[in-house]
Chain A
Amino acid sequence: MSTTTPTPRLIPAGTYSVDPKHSAVGFEVRHMGIATVRGAFRTFEGEIDASGEAPVLKGTVEVESIDTGDEQRDAHLAAPDFFDAEQHPQITFHTTALEASEDGRVRLAGEITIKGITKPIELTGTAGEGGIDPWGHERIGFEVEGTIDRRDFDLKWNQTLPNGNLLVSNEVKLVVSVSAVKGA
């Protein structure tokens, strides 16, 4: 059992909605072992419920909103070879532990479901200062990262290069930045 207590200073009690205009759900893969290719899911929603004893974050991502800056590649990524958006239109995530320490570090442990397969995941990073935005809304924010092996989620498509490297790395880094607004 974790003994870390949620820090009231960072997440004051209440429920928060993830502000999609000031948040991002991104990912990074290595291409041919030489370059980092970045992409993002443009459509997502999320909620942080900090009304109870332990805060819980839940989020949903629309697979078809995948954007890697190349329309043909995005179509292939949404197709059965990869995410199979027709059968599995959403990626979902919820925390089992959301911890923020006094020095601004954040740790999200939870479960992520991709292509119908649920696995544990841990994301770590830093919390923003939070506070009242110019429109009088209370905001909290953080940026976290984590790594998954895409093969765990049946995202197996690949090509071995003549030098033995893989065309697309199996490790995928998730980079999530969240700005959430306290609800009424």
Chain B
Amino acid sequence: MKILGISGSLRAASYNTALLRAAAELAPEGVEFELYDGLEALPPYNEDRDGDFPAPAARRLREQIAAADAVLFATPEYNGSVPGQLKNAVDWASRPRGKGAALWGKPAAVVGASAGEYGALWAQDHLRRALGIASARVLDVELPVAKAPLRFDDDGVLTDLEIRDHLAEIVGELVEQHARLTHAAA
């Protein structure tokens, strides 16, 4: 099974990207975890650049999501919502609408970290909503990592044990969801 991690933060030392690295480390054996690194190069969604020959960066995003069995998103919160570039990735991956969309029926979960008190809770809520409308199979879970500088060490390793457990649970739920779907299909 393969999980694609998509971080909504572009910063090299991003807590959200670090959260996904922790998820990769906590993933059970047999789960391949890939980190998407094309967010900054993804152009703004433009229907004129979509269609039979979508922008190459968008095609890569769609292919990576399609090749994954589940997607784990980590989002910071900008002005009470999802960063524009992350929402933009959801918009690309939601089209063409319906069965042809990379996100169609794809198990997805959302986690988030912020330096403040609330751990990007609103952004997680908004992202889950957008993913649902984009046809993903969104898990009803959240992981607000508040006061992020206190939860990671200087090397970006997630050191908070409670959060590590919770994150491992969420990854486990994605694995279970995938197992249920493949079992149902068999």
Tell me the A residues contacting B by CB distance below 8 Å: 71-72, 74-76, 78-81, 84, 86-87, 157
Task: Report the bound CA distance from A81 to B184 in whole Å.
Answer: 18
Known: A75-B135, A157-B132. A80 touches B97 (CB 8 A): no
Known: A71-B97, A72-B97, A157-B132. A79 touches B104 (CB 8 A): yes
The smallest C-beta distance from A81 to any residue of chain B, in angstroms, reads 4
The answer to whether B133 and A76 touch across the interface, beta carbons within 8 angstroms, is yes
Which B residues are in CB contact (< 8 Å) with A76?
Answer: 132-133, 135
Q: Which chain B residue shows the least CB distance to A74?
A: B98
Tell me the B residues contacting A by CB distance below 8 Å: 97-98, 101, 104-105, 132-138, 181, 184
Extra 4 A-B pairs, beta carbons < 8 Å, given A74-B98, A75-B98, A80-B105: A79-B105, A79-B134, A80-B132, A87-B105
Q: Contacting A80 at CB < 8 Å: which of B98, B101, B137, B184?
A: B137
Which A residues are in CB contact (< 8 Å) with B101?
Answer: 75
Which B residues are in CB contact (< 8 Å) with A80?
Answer: 105, 132, 135-138
Task: Report the bound CA distance from A157 to B138 in whole Å.
Answer: 12
Which B residues are in CB contact (< 8 Å) with A86?
Answer: 104-105
Task: Report the bound CA distance from A172 to B105 in whole Å.
Answer: 24
The smallest C-beta distance from A117 to any residue of chain B, in angstroms, reads 15
Task: Report the bound CA distance from A101 to B138 in whole Å.
Answer: 48
Which A residues are in CB contact (< 8 Å) with B135?
Answer: 75-76, 78-81
Which B residues are in CB contact (< 8 Å) with A72?
Answer: 97
The answer to whether B132 and A75 touch across the interface, beta carbons within 8 angstroms, is no
Known: A71-B97, A80-B137. A87 touches B132 (CB 8 A): no
A and B contact pairs by CB, cutoff 8 A, 5 listed: A74-B98, A80-B137, A81-B133, A84-B105, A157-B132
Which B residues are in CB contact (< 8 Å) with A78?
Answer: 98, 135
Which A residues are in CB contact (< 8 Å) with B133?
Answer: 76, 79, 81
Closest 4 CB pairs of A and B: A79-B135, A75-B97, A80-B137, A81-B132
Task: Report the bound CA distance from A87 to B137 in whole Å.
Answer: 11
